[in-house]
Structure 1
Amino acid sequence: MQVSTDGPDAALFLAVRVLDHDGVEVTSTGAIASEQVLISGWLRLSYRKTDPTRSLRWRPWRTHDKLRPVKPGTSSPVEVEIWPTGIDLPTGYAPGADHLRTRLRPQILHCIWVK
């Protein structure tokens, strides 16, 4: 994923949601909230540095040894870990990815999804 922000840092909150056949979100009851997304992940953009020798395709390994500040308006590649999960979806239902707005920092966040 490529991300740009108008500030020196940003908090990314990503979610995988379940959508029914009409595109309406289907929530579930979980341990934290009565209506929650299927699964989520988060990352402080300045902590995006990973160790490629310890990272797995589905799990980036953070080094936490050096902050990588962001130049406002510049696109940065990021890998956000979203924990594996499983669900049996009815016919016509589909997973959908999304970024969640944060109340922590009201910066504008632009996400471009790449494969």
Structure 2
Amino acid sequence: MVASSTTDADLFLSVRVLDPEGHDIRFVSALDPAGVVAHGRLRAAHRALDAERTLPDRPWHPHDRRDPLTPGETVPLDIEIWQTSVVVPAGHRLAVTVQGRDFEFPGEAPGRSRTAST
């Protein structure tokens, strides 16, 4: 569910793994050499679902129309988090971050390039 003071909003979901001390563990992916485990995103005005193509774990958004938000009104959003496979060691935790922009690890300046050594 989401509500906004505007007629549209972008939502970015990031699944992270934290070590026992709460520090992020970074993962190599096709898009990022030192990133999160998985992510998903959706523009709220494109929240319409295709009922025939949507699966219980995979919403299908046709992106064929724009449904503006009504400021202050709460609406449901189905956001697919891209599938992945990783073994999380005992003592580690999963964290889900929901933001209105791409995820950046704490302490990183916006737009700064991440590397595997960071």
Query: Does TM-score exceed 0.5, indicating one fold?
Result: yes
| Alpha-carbon distance in 1 for matches of 2:30, 2:60 | 26
User: What is residue 80 of structure 1 aligned with on the other side?
Assistant: 79
- Higher RCO (Cα < 8 Å, 6 or more apart): 1
Judging by fraction of residues, say which structure has more strand.
1
Does the residue aligned with 2:16 lie in a helix, a strand or coil? strand
| Alpha-carbon distance in 2 for matches of 1:92, 1:43 | 31
RMSD: 1.7
Does the residue aligned with 2:3 lie in a helix, a strand or coil? strand
- Aligned structure 1 segments of 4 or more residues deviating by more than 6 angstroms: none
| Alpha-carbon distance in 1 for matches of 2:50, 2:24 | 35
Percent of aligned positions that are identical: 35
Normalised by the length of structure 2, the TM-score is 0.77
User: What is residue 44 of structure 1 aligned with on the other side?
Assistant: 43
Does the residue aligned with 1:14 lie in a helix, a strand or coil? strand
Q: Give aligned pairs, total.
A: 102
1:40-75 Cα distance to aligned partner (Å, 9 max, x none): 111110000002222101110113232111011111
* Residue segments in structure 1 that go unaligned for 5+ positions in a row: 104-115
Does the residue aligned with 2:36 lie in a helix, a strand or coil? coil
Distance 1:63 1:33, change over 3 A: closer
Alignment of 1:48-67 (within 5 A): 48-67=47-66
Normalised by the length of structure 1, the TM-score is 0.79
Amino acid at match of 2:48: K
Alignment of 1:98-109 (within 5 A): 98-102=97-101
* Residue segments in structure 2 that go unaligned for 5+ positions in a row: 103-118
The Cα of 1:20 is off from its aligned counterpart by 1.3
